Structure 1
Amino acid sequence: MADFDDLLKANHEFAASFDLSGFDGVAHAGVAIVTCMDSRIDPLGMLGLKPGDAKIFRNPGGRVTPQALEALVLGAHLLNVDRILVVPHTRCAVASNTEAELRERVAASAGRDASWQPFHVVADQAAALTEDVQKVRSHPLIPDTVLVGGFIYDVDTGLLEQIV
């Protein structure tokens, strides 16, 4: 199992100063974030938050999927969430490639056909963001008291721009 030794070593160093033992698991700042899986995004850092402050849901493109809605409903009712940020980002692969291009790139890397794999590309980020924010705002199990905003994160400046 040496393939993971570097990560397990880092985990032991992390655990040596771990201070979230017994944490209640709610979002102490009342924040939930739906954002992309892109490793250039530090969801807590970009908002000045720390572990325990927010619930974070990540997926390609930062889209509000049925799974994201499930997480947001739980967050709003059970985990202290009263503000939701939907945050896609600049230079996103699913917003800057077509479905065919992504399938071709994956097929080339995998050495096998990927024409069957959906990647849910985003042709218009602002329109998709508006649609996603509306999905959250109109969900029957998300209370009207929960604030929902749509933002684009700039991976080159670290700045958020509110779109919705």
Structure 2
Amino acid sequence: MGVVETLASRNADFVKTQFTDGLRMMPKLKTIVIGCVDPRVDPASVLGAEQGEIAAIRNVGGRITPRTLEELVMLRKVTQAAGADLGPGWELIVLQHTQCGITLLKDQPELLTPYFETDEAGLEAQAVADPRAAIAHDVAALRAESRLEGVRVSGLLYDVATGEIETVVAP
């Protein structure tokens, strides 16, 4: 059996045993987690979230890039159109992790400059090789974004060796 067939079979089991009918589009905890695509760091799993409690945006490194900011602004418009508002009462959590693959690219500006939409001089501020500094940088970028005013922002570091999270930037 191939991967698609295996996953389709697992979905059939999910429908029978775990599917929750009637979930709302807005996450119950009014929380969006921005995390890495690394399969070891599934935000719902590592944070113990139930289906429908959080939303997740995942990208390389779990970074706040100009594109990520635009996605969050778009999500704010979606929440407003749905009769809510991604504003006061909402949480944004930057969830990055140890042993992240993006750190292996620290000496490849040809990949990183377009990703962060910066020049080589601006890469140093991105702190690609230092996850704690990267979290602090990204939280600051979210807090400075006027179009997300009123949202509480925090930054967590997940240790892939222990499974534990560390609060790097408190809300």
- TM-score, reference length from structure 1: 0.76
In structure 2, relative to structure 1, the CA distance for the partners of 1:160 and 1:18 (3 Å cut) is closer
Q: Using the alignment, how far apart are the partners of 1:3 and 1:85 within structure 2?
A: 31
Q: Using the alignment, how far apart are the partners of 2:47 and 2:161 within structure 1?
A: 16
> 8 Å contact 1:32–1:72 — kept in the other structure?
no
Q: Using the alignment, how far apart are the partners of 1:75 and 1:162 within structure 2?
A: 25
**1:87 correspondence with 2:95:** yes
Q: Using the alignment, how far apart are the partners of 1:95 and 1:19 within structure 2?
A: 37
Q: Using the alignment, how far apart are the partners of 1:3 and 1:150 within structure 2?
A: 34
Q: Using the alignment, how far apart are the partners of 2:146 and 2:63 within structure 1?
A: 19
* Aligned residue number for residue 124 of structure 2: none
Identity among equivalent positions (%) equals 31
User: Any idea what SS the aligned residue of 1:131 has?
Assistant: helix
The letter for the 2-side match of 1:56 is A
The letter for the 1-side match of 2:154 is G
Deviations, residues 111-149 of structure 1 (Å, cap 9, x unaligned): xxxx96x25581232222211111111111112x32111
Deviations, residues 20-68 of structure 1 (Å, cap 9, x unaligned): 3332210101111011111111312322321101110111111012332
> 8 Å contact 1:30–1:80 — kept in the other structure?
no
User: Any idea what SS the aligned residue of 2:141 has?
Assistant: helix
Give aligned pairs, total. Answer: 148
* Aligned residue number for residue 61 of structure 1: 61
Displacement of 1:3: 5.6
> 8 Å contact 2:97–2:160 — kept in the other structure?
yes
- TM-score, reference length from structure 2: 0.74
* Aligned residue number for residue 23 of structure 2: 23
